[in-house]
Structures are given as structure tokens and as C-alpha cells.
Amino acid sequence: MDVFRQDVIVSFGIPLLDMSATVDTQFLNKYKLGANDSVQANKFQSALYDDAVNTYEVTYVAGGAAQNTIRVAQWLLGAPKATTLFGCIGKDKFGDILQGKAEQEGVCVCYERHKELATGRCAVLITDNNRCLCAEFAAAKAYSMNHLQQPENWQHIVQAQIIYVTGYFLHSSPDCGKLLAESSGNKEGKKFCFNLSAPYICLEAMDRIKEIFPYIDILFGNEAEVKALEKELQLKNDCNTTQEIVFQVGQLLEKQRGKPCTVVITQGNKSTVLYHDSKLTEYPVVAVPPACIVDTCGAGDAFVGGFLAKLACGKDIAECIRCGHYAAGKMIQCQGIQIPKEKADFWT
């Protein structure tokens, strides 16, 4: 296996502390939550996090899309601090827990610590076979240009082989996202990778996405996200399938870049669609037995982590996708993104 230096992959996202607890229906009723809700906490519900800690046994996991991806990539690469994560958290006990969890897994964390806003948290409230998600972003959406441009932080960008930015981050810190794209995209020895993240990002941050289009080396997304992108870009009306949309998006990216690009679109348990070298290819997903599937919510994040790990090794795109499928298949067999204690066996 390759030996990696620090900062091979540097990621920017919205770090959240996932707080998982098995609760009773009275607790959900107290905070006006449904058993399978997925909501952003209102002012009244912000009290539930401390309440859950005082009432139930809470399991903490470093969460958020970019953090999930970087944790998976770190697990696969193995070398301490081969990956680095930037984001904003609060100066509070939950921020300390979040940083400790990420560092335990070997990730180099470069969090900005906000003096006023609380650490972003996502309560995962389990009742029977149901799961309610209640997120409070707070500091997670407050990452600043000042932190990014501090010399000791910018040095991570200079050293990085791969820069990975999520749509969530671009939406909340657009100037930082644009600077990262301009400083990393189309640069010799670097790859600027961007994830669409969610259909609403394509709607609400389309102007920002267009600004970084010329710098994107690799574009990630899923079927719903690329369809939302196609709608906002107003591509040709004859795009009836995901494959046709991916091809059109790839062609547009290449036109704006003036050089080849890569588009990788996942479709759940259906084939992953790839645009690369001006060609379209599909890669079947290795099926996981239904009885083994526990939680598919983090599958896309895990896929990108596997893909980037192999990209960092200089492997070809087919191998990157194969590792992405491997990582996603592993992670959907547990609740949330839980990094195994044993080393990844994909490399053997």
C-alpha cells in the first residue's frame, strides 16, 4: 500500500456532531417531532440536545456530508492525517467532542471555533424501527474567509493533492468556495472536486455553482441532484434520461473549462454513470443483501470517500468507482457512518 503524506485530501464542509439516542415517543411529542421527521430545529427544539444528554444514553459520531466523506477516505488511506477537514464549530463542549471524535479516526481537523454560535448538531432520535433527524446548524454555516486565509491554514491548501468542496459549503460560504476553486482548479498536480450535495442547492446557489464551473475537475452528485442541475442550466429539451443529462453536463463543463473533466453520478442501487474523456460509461453496483442493509443515508458520502481515496493513489477512474462502491456497501450495513476498527480490506 502507498505511504501518504499529510494533506493528500483537504475537504470543506458543514461539520455536525451526530447525537444518536433511543428515546420514547413522549420525548418526540415534547418537542413536536414525528417518528420519521427530518427537520431543522426551531428555537423551541434547540433545547432537546442537552435534554437528550441528560435523559438518555447518547452516542456521538462526527457527522456532516464532507466530514463523513473525509472519515471514510481516511479509513481507507490509513496514514495519520492523510486527510484534512475545514469547517466551523462552536467554542463549547459539543465542539470539543466533535473534534475529538474526528481526530480519533486520524483526520487532521482545522476547525474555526466560533465565539458566539453553538456547534452544529444533528439529533438522531430512534424509536423502534423509526429514526427522527433534527439538525441545528448554528456555527456550521459560519465559516469565514479570515480563517481560510490565515497562513497556517492556507498552507494545507497549497500542499493538497485533492480539494473537495460540498455544495452545502459553497451555499453557506460562497466566497471561500470560489477562492478554493480558483486556487485549485485547473492546476498541475491538483484536483478540484465539487459535490452538488442536494437538489435545493442547485436551485438556491446556481449562480455560485456557475462561477466555479470552469475550475471543476470532478463533479459528484446523485440522480436527483443532476436532474435539478439540468433544470437550472436549461439544457437541451431532449435530455430524457440520467445518462443523457450527465453527457450534456459533461459537455458543458468541458466547453467552459477548455479541457477534459469528469462527472460521476450515483443512482442508489442502480449503475453509477460516468462521463470521462468525453465518453459515457456505466458501472454496476455490487449488490448488498437486503437483510444486511441498515441505513442508506450516508451511502453517497461514503462512495465519494472511497473514490477520492483511490484517486489519491493515482488509480484510474474505474478503480476509483469500484472503491466507491465498496465503501458505500460497507457503510450502509450500519447506522450512520461508523468507521470500522479493522483496516479496510479493499486494498488486499
Residue of 286, 296, 297, 293 whose CA lies nearest to 321: 286
- 50 catalytic residue (yes or no): no
The whole-angstrom distance between residue 251's C-alpha and the CA centroid of its chain comes to 25
* Cα(297)–Cα(68) distance, integer angstroms: 11
Residues near 189 by Cβ (< 8 Å), separated by ≥ 6?
161
DSSP assignment of 182-205, as one string?
A: HHHTT-TT-EEEEE---HHHHHHS
- Catalytic residue, chosen from 7, 207, 301, 316, is 301
36 CB-contact burial (10 Å; exposed 0-12 / middle 13-18 / buried 19+): exposed
Q: Is 32 helix (H, G, I), strand (E, B) or coil?
A: coil
Q: Is 244 helix (H, G, I), strand (E, B) or coil?
A: helix
Residue of 68, 1, 6 whose CA lies nearest to 304: 68
Rounded to whole angstroms, what are the CA distances from 163 to 9, 28, 166, 218?
Answer: 6, 39, 10, 10
Task: Name the residues annotated as catalytic.
Answer: 301
